[in-house]
């Protein structure tokens, strides 16, 4: 029986990946992980060095949890190409922690013969606390026919699928309210302006006013002298 493969046409938004529980982290696993990755930080393998750094014991590298999420995706998405895997770490990992890895399909879209799935994945410890959260992008074939076309060197099967997502969409910025029209100033009564004076020609002296004619002296008539009484 051929191994199961993941095709775009069979996946729906909200589909959950089968949960994967890992064995408790132990010190032997930490030593093997250090040898495989070349990360020989003393706080991961040396109890004395870890206590000197103020830790209760050796601490597991966070990337070991990221590897567990990669295993979860690889077991579920057979035949797919992992385009991106990013993680954020919320808590430290200690020897004895048991991680349960989970995931779901959060986004799907396809155009021009290329089909993509977006996964939300995370890991919880034995107390249910969130330890790691990540996002995965997968490129898959649309169907068996699409895969056969690829293997025969033929053009891909083109089925344009609009984006479907259950992730929270960013809220659009508030639209600016239309500006209120400025109130028109009250009409004022037109003021009467004096007519503009004619410009004086430059260099010309203003004409002198004509002298008023002198008043003629009027000869006063001499009054007759009164006769004196004897």
The DSSP string of 86-121 is EEEE-S-B-TT---EEEEEEEEEEEETTEEEEEEEE
Cβ burial 43-61 (10 Å sphere, 16+ → b, else e): bbbeeeebeeeeeeebbbb
What domains can be seen in the chain, in order of their start residue? 8-24+60-158 (3.10.129.10), 26-58 (no CATH)
List per-residue pLDDT tens for the chain, 230 residues long.
Answer: 345 789 999 999 999 999 999 999 999 999 999 999 998 899 999 999 999 999 999 999 999 999 999 999 999 999 899 999 999 999 999 999 999 999 999 999 999 999 999 999 999 999 999 999 999 999 999 999 999 999 999 999 999 999 999 986 655 556 655 556 556 555 555 556 655 565 555 555 555 565 555 555 555 555 555 555 54
pLDDT of residue 146: 96
Q: According to the model, what pLDDT value does residue 230 have?
A: 45
């Amino acid at each position: 029986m051929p191994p199961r493969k993941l095709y775009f046409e069979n996946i729906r938004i909200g589909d959950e990946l089968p949960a994967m529980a890992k064995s408790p982290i132990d010190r032997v696993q930490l030593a093997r992980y250090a040898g495989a990755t070349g990360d020989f930080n003393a706080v991961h393998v040396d109890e004395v060095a870890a206590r000197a750094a103020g830790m209760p014991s050796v601490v597991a590298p966070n990337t070991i949890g990221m590897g567990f999420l990669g295993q979860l995706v690889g077991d579920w998405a057979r035949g797919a190409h992992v385009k991106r895997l990013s993680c954020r770490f919320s808590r430290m990992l200690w020897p004895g922690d048991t991680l349960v890895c989970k995931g779901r399909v959060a986004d799907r879209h396809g155009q021009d013969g290329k089909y993509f799935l977006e996964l939300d994945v995370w890991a919880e410890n034995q107390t249910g606390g969130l330890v790691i959260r990540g996002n995965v992008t997968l490129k898959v074939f649309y169907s068996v026919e699409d895969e056969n076309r690829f293997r025969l060197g033929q053009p891909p099967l083109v089925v344009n699928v609009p984006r479907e997502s259950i992730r929270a969409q960013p809220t659009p910025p508030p639209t600016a309210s239309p500006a209120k029209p400025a109130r028109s100033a009250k009409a004022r009564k037109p003021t009467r302006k004096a007519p503009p004076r004619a410009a004086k020609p430059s260099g010309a002296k203003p004409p002198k006013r004509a002298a008023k004619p002198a008043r003629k002296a009027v000869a006063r008539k001499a009054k007759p002298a009164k006769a004196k009484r004897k």
